[in-house]
Structures are given as structure tokens and as C-alpha cells.
């Protein structure tokens, strides 16, 4: 398990499986890591629900440019 997943697991109190899934989704990008951590912490949820993913996508599209 990577350090990002371990961090999510310990700081948010989520399962290892959930933490690894989120780490894969954020692909190691620091800002993505922070946004998803904030959204999960703020919501108090222990899993990555579709509405959180939608919020995450919105933050990323508004605050980060897309590289091609």
C-alpha cells in the first residue's frame, strides 16, 4: 500500500480497500489528494460516494487546468 493510501486510512479512519481506491483516483497529485481528503473529512463519510466524486470532479475542473 502506498503512503497516500496509508495517510487516507489513518487520517480519515477508512478501510484499506477504500483508501487504496481513493489513492488510485487521485493518482498521486497533491492537490487532488487534498481535495478528496477535505471532501471526505467535511462530509464525515467513510466511503467514496458518487456525490463526493461529483464534487471532486467539479473542484478539479474549476481549480485545475486539464493537460493534454
Write down the pLDDT at residue 63. 83
**Is residue 22 predicted with pLDDT exceeding 70?**
yes
Concatenate the DSSP letters of all residues of 7-59 into one string. HHHHHHT--HHHHHHHHHHHTT-HHHHHHHHHHHHHHT-SS--HHHHHHHHHH
**Is residue 40 predicted with pLDDT exceeding 70?**
yes
**Is residue 55 predicted with pLDDT exceeding 90?**
yes
**Is residue 44 predicted with pLDDT exceeding 70?**
yes
Cα–Cα–Cα angle for 27, 30, 35, nearest 5°?
Answer: 90
- Mean pLDDT, range 37-54, rounded to an integer: 88
pTM summary value = 0.75
DSSP state of 1: -
**Is residue 47 predicted with pLDDT exceeding 90?**
no
Q: State phi, psi for 22 to the nearest 5 degrees.
A: -70, -40
Amino acid at each position: 500500500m502506498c503512503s497516500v493510501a496509508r495517510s487516507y486510512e489513518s487520517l480519515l479512519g477508512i478501510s484499506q480497500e477504500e483508501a487504496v481506491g481513493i489513492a488510485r483516483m487521485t493518482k498521486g497529485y497533491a492537490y487532488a489528494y487534498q481535495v478528496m481528503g477535505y471532501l471526505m473529512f467535511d462530509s464525515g463519510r467513510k466511503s467514496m460516494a458518487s456525490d463526493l466524486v461529483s464534487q471532486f470532479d467539479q473542484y478539479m475542473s474549476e481549480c485545475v487546468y486539464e493537460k493534454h
